[in-house]
Structure 1
Amino acid sequence: MAETERLMPNGGSRRTNPLITGHLILGTIVACLGSIQYGYHIAELNAPQEFLSCSRFNAPDENISYDDTWVGQHGLKQCIALTDSQYGAVTSIFSIGGLFGSYYAGNWANRYGRKYVSMGASAMCMVSSLLLFFSNSYLQLLFGRFLVGMSCGTAIVITPLFINEIAPVEWRGAMGSMNQVSINLGILLTQTLALKYADSYNWRWLLFAGSVIAVSNLLVWLKVDESPRWLLNHGFVSEAEIALFKLRPGTYQQAKQEIQDWQRSHAHNRDPESSEETHSGPTLWKYVTDPSYKKPRTVIFAILSCQQFCGINSIIFYGVKVIGKILPNYSIQVNFAISILNVVVTLAASAIIDHVGRRPLLLASTTVMTAMSLLISAGLTLGVSFLLVAATFVYIAAFAIGLGPIPFLIIGELSYPQDAATAQSFGTVCNWLATFIVGYLFPIGHGLMGGYVFMIFAAIAALFATYVYKRVPETKGKTTYSEVWTGY
């Protein structure tokens, strides 16, 4: 493919691919490392549950006693006795921490920039992962999971926001879906390491690995510039032009022209009901209470909440235990295969999301999930292992093709540009609340109802599919707020 010469602001030149720049790819990867952390931590307690909570003992090498291992020699317990209720609390308090992180992330990102808030979140994630690794009590686990949730809650707001702000319109869907791909890669990484470390001697190293990811993310952020939209909104016009020039394949003059287009679009799309001229957008409280935000707020609430109420984290959090009821010797391997499928199908979704559109994929995803939830329920209640595994695989694939990648991507597309960070915080807070409810109540519901609990998820998915059909606008290829909401 031919290359084009690019003029630098100082008069120099360089050559690059005419379609996409290395800096754009790097910026997307660096942002997505935050989502990898989120995916890793949301699933890290799935496989080692029985070993961590003293429900099962399985030494990898019976010739070595636990006290002779590194963790044993440093006073770390072989397991921490936890009831199912306590383990559910440790798992789900991650969502409460995430809620706090997401609540403040939009405001922090508006005030201090996307880059530095992400670096701070990575530093917190490193510290909290080490706290989990060294935990010897229920309370220490709770505190560590709360802190790691805060860091991941911050990261999951910044990642889609940053990608949406650096991606060209024609790449926005594909690049935005990398957020969900990265979450799934984090989950896959957890399940991969679990094949080796999910036992009574090594489960702590699964928790330690989170700190390694966090340090890596913190360091590579040093190689990436701040979001050009944030720079522009805060009056750093020349810095925004230079940052955008690195992200785009054209000349510096073309990057400067795009910045000017942003300025005109911002003035044209400014909320007519708001007299504020702030660069920071609304506060979260104003966004929640002001009637002028009702239209996007309602749709964002529905999409981000129902993503969880359709039941995905019953598999991500507790899949090993659920599948283990029927296939106790293969539950970790089945969950590993599920994680691979999740990544592959989400990658496939990223390739078609800008061609098919957001709305059709959401409809197809939720419709298939409705049917598969009913079959999962049947597989569990009837004890049919093949039906359970097959339905779970199709359920995960259906989630990954639509309901997985689209919710976080579509938030910015439904909002005014100046409202995007606050809207991202609002949507993510809704998602965390729903995650907590599912994470905490599913073990209780599964204990009381068995496989019939998945019939509740089926009913919610069916209702949500109807809502998408009637209320959610298509955003594919639309660049302004008025274009998106015409007719709604």
Structure 2
Amino acid sequence: MAAPPTAPPPLSSGYRAGRMIALTGAVVGVVYGYDTGSISGALVFLSEDFDLSAGEAGFVNSILVLGNILGALVAGRLADALGRKPTMVLVAAAYAVFSALSALSPTVLVLDLVRFCLGVTIGVSIVAAPLFIAESTPARLRGAAVAGYQVACVAGITLTYFVNWGLSGGGHWRIMLGLAAIPSALVVIPLLRLPDSPRWYLLKGRVDEAARVMAATDPDVDPLAETAAIQHELRTERRGRGGSLGQMVRRPFLRATVFVLGMGFFCQITGINAVTYYSPQIFRTLGFHGDGQAFLLPAIVELVSLAATVAALFVVDRLGRRVVLLSGIGTMLATLLVLAALFGTHSLSGAGIWLGFGAIALFTAAFNFGFGALIWVYASEAFPARLRSLGASVMLTADLAANFLVAQFFPSVLEGLGATWAFGGFAALALIALVFMARVAPETKGRQLEEIRAYWQNGGRWPSEGEPGTTGGGLRPGTAPPLGTGVATSTPGERPRS
């Protein structure tokens, strides 16, 4: 066992270092969002160039999602083996290469192969980036920092739609797909300057480095006491054969596994990427005609969604995870019912068209406020250190499996059964999701990552003071008390705060 560190000097003060890590990780989210949105515009024109059927057009999307699934499955092991930061560097470089190759594809077969490779890269990134951010930011900022990744994703999608609109006149689908290579290449430079997460250093027994990074990124804790507490958790997990799928399907983490699988699946099966991937087709079904409207309206929708995602960032650490999540899902359900009713009663004329537009805008905003922001937070919080990357992989694999179903079959359902059945089906699934999440989603606001283990060990509730899993009224050594308690805390090199 490694010896405890001895008084490492802090690398910086305040929250600056943790915020820089969150910001740099979020840039990867912008690239992910850009690619997710770019295909919606490019698909209109490449379908014409390659003479694709509805099923073939769906496969251009779903082949990416198949790659996502593979990437998410290997991401946890990769992030544990290489480190969170080197995995992020690898992801950014691969983004640049495969985005450029997408723009140069001479046939749809080559495009599908490149998009599969790009999908693997995305699958790794959506596990590694939130994990890196969550493990490198203070508990009181973690919800906002990880939700900031979703802000970045939505910002990328919003940018894409405006780019698509600007390029739609010439049908420049290759430029639409290839532009993501530029920010991908640029983000490699700041990534190389960052440290890895302190929890990854501790997984590898590099205690001194962990303490130094902890001092730099989390002024709320004593880095020596915090690293000791995390080491204790890691030793406990090793005795329980931690870090395996076997432990995830046994108590005490079976409940957590059911939660993350359900959240991942419902996040996508309720239809958000039907709107993201096929928004031009949906707006044409609503009654908006011409490439100008079909490409501009999705951009306006994403601007509304971006505002909602920013709002989630500001309230997720104040109102709590459950309030934000459940209000978002409830609003999604209401808007899906409105859309199903509009299509079912054939009210798509005049005011009905704009009511449909408003429902789609509110649906997308509600998703990003609730599911969109919280999936990254819960993916990085639900499990202790040795299971965290694997648990995130499991959640996001379920998410991507549902995404594959939507990407592949939504065009055929829309064409064969009609919009009423498509959006009515999404509404039924949203109702199931609301009930499921209300029953199983924990409230993790303000909790240290290692502290969340106690929730699952206690049968899905937080231990009261004095129960196993709590220390000194629920605070582990080195953990800052909640804001406003008046309890003084200090870190090395700082005066006590009251």
Q: Is the 8 A contact 2:199 2:385 kept in 1?
A: no
* Pair 1:321-2:291 in alignment: no
Distance 1:199 1:51, change over 3 A: farther
Per-residue deviation, residues 221-279 of structure 1 (Å, max 9, x unmatched): 112111111011101111112222332348xx943333233323444xx349x543xxx
The offset of 1:378, in angstroms, is 2.7
Partner of 1:62: none
The offset of 1:9, in angstroms, is 4.7
* Pair 1:263-2:231 in alignment: yes
Query: Which residue of 21, 26, 37 maps to 2:20?
Result: 26
The offset of 1:482, in angstroms, is 4.6
Q: Is the 8 A contact 1:475 1:484 kept in 2?
A: no
* Pair 1:282-2:243 in alignment: yes
SS of the counterpart of 1:418? helix
Between the aligned partners of 1:234 and 1:15, the Cα distance in structure 2 is 23
Partner of 2:452: 481
Query: Which residue of 301, 323, 337 maps to 1:360?
Result: 323
Q: Is the 8 A contact 1:37 1:152 kept in 2?
A: no
Partner of 2:464: none
The offset of 1:338, in angstroms, is 1.0
* Pair 1:385-2:353 in alignment: yes
Per-residue deviation, residues 17-49 of structure 1 (Å, max 9, x unmatched): x4x21x222211111222222211122111232
SS of the counterpart of 1:178? helix
Q: Is the 8 A contact 1:174 1:353 kept in 2?
A: yes
SS of the counterpart of 1:322? helix
SS of the counterpart of 2:189? helix
Between the aligned partners of 1:472 and 1:264, the Cα distance in structure 2 is 26
- Which residue identity lines up with residue 367 of structure 1 in the other structure? G
- Which residue identity lines up with residue 26 of structure 1 in the other structure? M
The offset of 1:484, in angstroms, is 2.5
Q: Is the 8 A contact 2:42 2:177 kept in 1?
A: no
Describe how 1:32-51 pairs up with structure 2 within 5 A.
32-51=26-45
Between the aligned partners of 1:468 and 1:233, the Cα distance in structure 2 is 31
Query: Which residue of 440, 444, 458 maps to 1:471?
Result: 440
Between the aligned partners of 2:337 and 2:145, the Cα distance in structure 1 is 33
Q: Is the 8 A contact 2:31 2:180 kept in 1?
A: yes
Between the aligned partners of 2:390 and 2:314, the Cα distance in structure 1 is 28
* Pair 1:331-2:304 in alignment: no
* Pair 1:456-2:425 in alignment: yes
Moved more, 448-457 or 26-35: 26-35
Query: Which residue of 410, 419, 424 maps to 1:442?
Result: 410
Aligned residues: 442
SS of the counterpart of 1:405? helix
Partner of 1:103: 73
SS of the counterpart of 1:166? coil
Distance 1:376 1:255, change over 3 A: same
Q: Is the 8 A contact 1:478 1:484 kept in 2?
A: no
Distance 1:473 1:245, change over 3 A: closer
Describe how 1:220-235 pairs up with structure 2 within 5 A.
220-235=190-205
Q: Is the 8 A contact 2:234 2:386 kept in 1?
A: yes
* Pair 1:342-2:312 in alignment: no
Partner of 1:57: none
Query: Which residue of 120, 124, 136 maps to 2:106?
Result: 136
Between the aligned partners of 1:14 and 1:471, the Cα distance in structure 2 is 39
Between the aligned partners of 1:194 and 1:355, the Cα distance in structure 2 is 36
Partner of 2:465: none
Aligned CA-pair RMSD: 2.1
Partner of 2:476: none
* Pair 1:312-2:272 in alignment: yes
Between the aligned partners of 1:193 and 1:155, the Cα distance in structure 2 is 23
Q: Is the 8 A contact 1:51 1:199 kept in 2?
A: no
**Structure 2 unmatched runs, 5+:** 1-6, 461-498
Per-residue deviation, residues 269-305 of structure 1 (Å, max 9, x unmatched): x349x543xxxx524x435655653111100000111
Describe how 1:40-189 pairs up with structure 2 within 5 A.
40-54=34-48, 79-189=49-159
Between the aligned partners of 2:233 and 2:97, the Cα distance in structure 1 is 41
Between the aligned partners of 2:252 and 2:226, the Cα distance in structure 1 is 28
TM-score (norm 2): 0.84
Partner of 2:253: 293
Between the aligned partners of 2:104 and 2:85, the Cα distance in structure 1 is 29
Distance 1:119 1:239, change over 3 A: same
Between the aligned partners of 1:164 and 1:471, the Cα distance in structure 2 is 21
Partner of 2:338: 375
- Which residue identity lines up with residue 312 of structure 2 in the other structure? A
Q: Is the 8 A contact 2:69 2:401 kept in 1?
A: yes
**Structure 1 unmatched runs, 5+:** 1-7, 55-78
Per-residue deviation, residues 419-440 of structure 1 (Å, max 9, x unmatched): 1011011111111111101111
Between the aligned partners of 2:56 and 2:189, the Cα distance in structure 1 is 35
Q: Is the 8 A contact 1:357 1:474 kept in 2?
A: yes
Moved more, 287-296 or 348-357: 287-296
